[in-house]
Chain A
């Protein structure tokens, strides 16, 4: 079965540089979530999109922006990178419009960003 695809898997950047992470949800999934997991931390919610519109916003820095495109893939853009941005970034997808049942998120393998 197709899973959530994230790219790149690993990324190394210098301070003040820009990085872009991509997420391709499971086919037919219309909702995408971005989470940030620092070393030894639990995943922190950044932002989510449903049908290409922002549906919720969490602790996402102003330096970060994201969008969901017409093919439902999403990109997380991070500018003016800081050392503290070094983390594992997860994308998850789900089927937002459903009749019943829990909104089960399926996670990608994550993109590891290292800022030097």
Chain B
């Protein structure tokens, strides 16, 4: 069975600074997908970024980028130029590559951005 581990229950960062959230996972699959979802106080689940395991290049979406280390089964999220609106719960998630497979979430990291 696949597992996703987020070892940082809470993180804080000052506005405009950079922060990195950690995520490790365990799987015997060679191909899979990894995601970061953001859940602000509104509780809406919002996709931040995704990575295909067969792609060596790290995914980037504006201020958000990942460091994907397949051999180490590590998938960290870097947020640059942090903004107050980035304050949220961040969930790392894993998915097998089958068409209708589900997301398996980590326990989340609560990020607080301070002015």
Across the interface, do A102 and B99 meet the contact criterion of CB distance under 8 Å? no
Instruction: For the complex formed, measure the closest distance between the CB of B23 and the CB atoms of chain A, giving whole angstroms.
Output: 12
Across the interface, do B50 and A104 meet the contact criterion of CB distance under 8 Å? yes
Interface residues on A, range: 20 to 34
Instruction: For the complex formed, measure the closest distance between the CB of A4 and the CB atoms of chain B, giving whole angstroms.
Output: 10
Across the interface, do A96 and B45 meet the contact criterion of CB distance under 8 Å? no
Q: Judge whether A110 is part of the interface by a CB distance below 8 angstroms.
A: yes
Across the interface, do B100 and A55 meet the contact criterion of CB distance under 8 Å? yes
**Measured CA separation A66–B100 after assembly (Å):** 17
Across the interface, do B107 and A103 meet the contact criterion of CB distance under 8 Å? no
Chain B residues within an 8 Å CB radius of A106: 47
Across the interface, do B33 and A58 meet the contact criterion of CB distance under 8 Å? no
Across the interface, do B44 and A45 meet the contact criterion of CB distance under 8 Å? no
Interface residues on B, range: 20 to 34
- Which chain A residues have a beta carbon within 8 Å of chain B's beta carbons? 31, 33, 37, 41-45, 48, 50, 55-56, 58, 88, 90, 92, 94, 96-98, 101-107, 109-110
Chain B residues within an 8 Å CB radius of A37: 43
**Measured CA separation A41–B37 after assembly (Å):** 14
Within 8 Å by CB of B99, from A41, A43, A97, A107, lies A97
9 residue pairs, one from A and one from B, having the closest CB atoms: A107-B45, A96-B100, A42-B105, A102-B33, A50-B100, A55-B100, A96-B99, A45-B102, A31-B100
Chain A residues within an 8 Å CB radius of B44: 107, 109-110
Q: What is the predominant secondary structure among interface residues of chain B facing chain A?
A: loop
Q: Smallest CB-CB separation from B101: which chain A residue?
A: A103
Across the interface, do B91 and A56 meet the contact criterion of CB distance under 8 Å? no
The 5 sampled A-B contact pairs (Cβ below 8 Å) are A41-B107, A43-B91, A50-B99, A92-B45, A102-B50
Instruction: For the complex formed, measure the closest distance between the CB of A112 and the CB atoms of chain B, giving whole angstroms.
Output: 8
**Measured CA separation A45–B94 after assembly (Å):** 12
Contact A103/B91 with A55-B100, A56-B101 known, Cβ cut-off 8 Å: no
**Measured CA separation A66–B35 after assembly (Å):** 26
Across the interface, do B45 and A58 meet the contact criterion of CB distance under 8 Å? no
Q: Smallest CB-CB separation from A41: which chain B residue?
A: B107
**Measured CA separation A3–B38 after assembly (Å):** 17
